[in-house]
Structure 1
């Protein structure tokens, strides 16, 4: 069978890698696992190839992170042998160090190079730092097929200069049945829980979720019958905004109503099962060029969001913003409000999930869930690999 090597730098995640578990009857799949990888991928049923990176030789913590940013990262021991054995290498994005590492290795080893692209903002060279611009050039030149996760990402690639014949949209997939099976707990929840998963960074908008909760608890926004709602907010994730989010909840009088912390990915179906709604307040993030070595740029907006598909499979009501690719992913499902509209979030929750008994499920179109299933993703992926290996279009 053809050998596929998945390359994700230090960003290998269980929800991403598990999509390849549906391919073993058609492809031999492995992935590079660095010592500095940021997620626990021990439960992933794929061959893990341990590799060294430049980051591994530097001190742990922020000092090492800064040094890596300045020096640039790269694969070392173990990667060359893995590249040599691969027929297809599958990396991601235009300007990640590991995507460029694979692009350089392609010239020596001759594998086919595929890139998943989540990024929806076409920054080209102008709105990238010098190092990122160089990486982008290497990736664009060497990649055989780009696989954007959304139509929005596809359009961005066209503006980046990628020929249309080298693009194939490939929406990700999840284990729909696993999330659906956990959608109804044996004992219905006694109170409403709103779950807000995501990295604890400003652009994920958890601060707006806390503000929406405050409006509900204080009765500033009420249920349709005029009574207040006092749900619990469960923020799932880790990141640099942890302390500020906790402080914001405390100063709004919500210390007991908000919990913040990481949850293993395998436990997420149970989290959704005990919730009444998913709330995601994504907003674009930008920098304004505050020093002479930076450039002003908007560098992130919501791209795909596995949590939307997981929530639909679990039958959760969804309230989210219109940021980035969210409307495309939901395809008319859920309730959308403008980014930053915490008042609209509170009103949508009060009119929807919180007006029904805790844990009430919502039905989503079966064909939409099938489109986002891991089986459908595997078919799309296999077709793409066959395309690059045979040279067909």
Structure 2
């Protein structure tokens, strides 16, 4: 008997950290990931997943910002997607407002597959707070999705407000490889290092960690940490200048690109993780994969209360209000820096390590697929 065929649609956003759970499903499902010619800088080629090339509008346009702007005129879409989806038992998209999920939704009845949709979004925009292009995307996805898989309780609540019935969804958190992200052996550092990993944009709050470190330096604190920033984004030059303006450039190391396979070593070298997410009108923290990785690495977490962070980080994290850089300085002194330059105190939150393990995530996916396959074709 042939395995059910699952086509995972991620447009140009396929990445190694989200796709990893599907690698554990090969004995139960035939998993395929359509691969545009051009991605968003993520390299998932090392994962043992079947890929099939499917062109998109963006693939036909010039590279760089000019091509990105031109893509906005017609809107991106797969070219010949029906051929790639023919014979699929399940198509797995994500979000209410993404073009590729809406494209699959419009093909669902004609091709007879079940549509499963991941949702990370924690803000119910409805139509009023969406742009003109994505409003029809939302309507198509809401109408044709067989099962929604919100990543968190907060995302589930957002879907309830969007009008999705509770029996059309089940929570399906992502997973990480907890054999790779794990507590390091005993290490000592001359100065504690705070890891701030994430896209280099205002709402990720890297600048608040800089402010807290500068304040500790001005106050003459006995221990002032170093900062390691991992990520890329439009604010990189500004953040580099800001570290200089604050007089802490010698305490801040920027690592613009770290291959995902090397990230466990980055966690091992750190004394704590800072995730400083701040809500803006169009976004709040939807999950924070770095939180799951820090749990697995046994790394102390200092973070904010933006979006789904408290749900993911749990009761053992240290919290400050979004944007409260003075409170962050106080929290660092009371917690991470209290031991001076001693080794990080690495204790795994075992409950969350099990919850966010890649094996648990794969089982959640398999259960969702079994559920929709048990229902007749649309």
Shorter chain as denominator, the TM-score bin is over 0.9
Out of 274, 295, 298, which is 1:279 matched to? Answer: 274
Q: Where does 1:153-192 land on structure 2 (aligned, <5 Å)? A: 153-180=155-182, 183-185=183-185, 187-192=187-192
* 2:355 aligned residue: 371
Q: Secondary structure at the match of 1:178?
A: coil
* 1:45 aligned residue: 48
Q: Give the C-alpha shift of residue 305 in structure 1.
A: 0.9
Q: Give the C-alpha shift of residue 236 in structure 1.
A: 0.7
Moved over 3 A (4+): 185-190
**Structure 2 unaligned residues grouped into runs of 5+:** none
* 2:290 aligned residue: 307
Q: Give the C-alpha shift of residue 187 in structure 1.
A: 4.9
Question: C-alpha root-mean-square deviation of aligned residues, in Å?
Answer: 1.5
Give the TM-score taking structure 2 as reference length: 0.95
- Distance in 1 between residues matched to 2:273 and 2:311, nearest whole Å: 17
* 1:264 aligned residue: 259
Give the TM-score taking structure 1 as reference length: 0.91
Q: Secondary structure at the match of 2:43?
A: coil
- Distance in 2 between residues matched to 1:196 and 1:379, nearest whole Å: 31
- Distance in 2 between residues matched to 1:201 and 1:305, nearest whole Å: 15
Q: Secondary structure at the match of 1:85?
A: coil
Taking a change above 3 Å as real, the CA distance of residues 358 and 263 of structure 1, as seen in their structure-2 partners, is farther
1:233 aligns with 2:227: yes
Q: Where does 1:248-263 land on structure 2 (aligned, <5 Å)? A: 248-260=242-254, 261-263=256-258
Q: Give the C-alpha shift of residue 362 in structure 1.
A: 3.0
Q: Where does 1:79-94 land on structure 2 (aligned, <5 Å)? A: 79-94=81-96
- Distance in 1 between residues matched to 2:316 and 2:27, nearest whole Å: 34
Q: Give the C-alpha shift of residue 258 in structure 1.
A: 1.0
Q: Give the C-alpha shift of residue 178 in structure 1.
A: 1.3
Q: Give the C-alpha shift of residue 208 in structure 1.
A: 1.0
**Deviation per residue, 1:161-190 (Å, 9 max, x gap):** 11111011111111112111xx32575433
Q: Give the C-alpha shift of residue 105 in structure 1.
A: 2.3
Q: Secondary structure at the match of 2:282?
A: strand
Q: Give the C-alpha shift of residue 61 in structure 1.
A: 1.3
* 2:239 aligned residue: 245
Q: Give the C-alpha shift of residue 359 in structure 1.
A: 3.6
**Deviation per residue, 1:305-355 (Å, 9 max, x gap):** 110010011011110000000001122121011000011112112211222
- Distance in 1 between residues matched to 2:99 and 2:342, nearest whole Å: 45
- Distance in 1 between residues matched to 2:105 and 2:11, nearest whole Å: 13
Taking a change above 3 Å as real, the CA distance of residues 349 and 375 of structure 1, as seen in their structure-2 partners, is same
**How many residues align structurally?**
371
CA contact 1:18–1:45 (8 Å) conserved in 2: no
- Distance in 1 between residues matched to 2:153 and 2:7, nearest whole Å: 25
CA contact 2:299–2:345 (8 Å) conserved in 1: yes
* 2:307 aligned residue: 324
* 1:290 aligned residue: none
* 1:292 aligned residue: none
- Distance in 2 between residues matched to 1:121 and 1:307, nearest whole Å: 21
Q: Where does 1:1-393 land on structure 2 (aligned, <5 Å)? A: 1-38=3-40, 39-77=42-80, 79-180=81-182, 183-185=183-185, 187-219=187-219, 222=221, 227=222, 229-260=223-254, 261-285=256-280, 298-356=281-339, 357-391=341-375
**Deviation per residue, 1:70-121 (Å, 9 max, x gap):** 22000014x3332113211111000011111111222321111001000000
- Distance in 2 between residues matched to 1:375 and 1:131, nearest whole Å: 37
- Distance in 1 between residues matched to 2:248 and 2:353, nearest whole Å: 35
Q: Give the C-alpha shift of residue 273 in structure 1.
A: 0.1
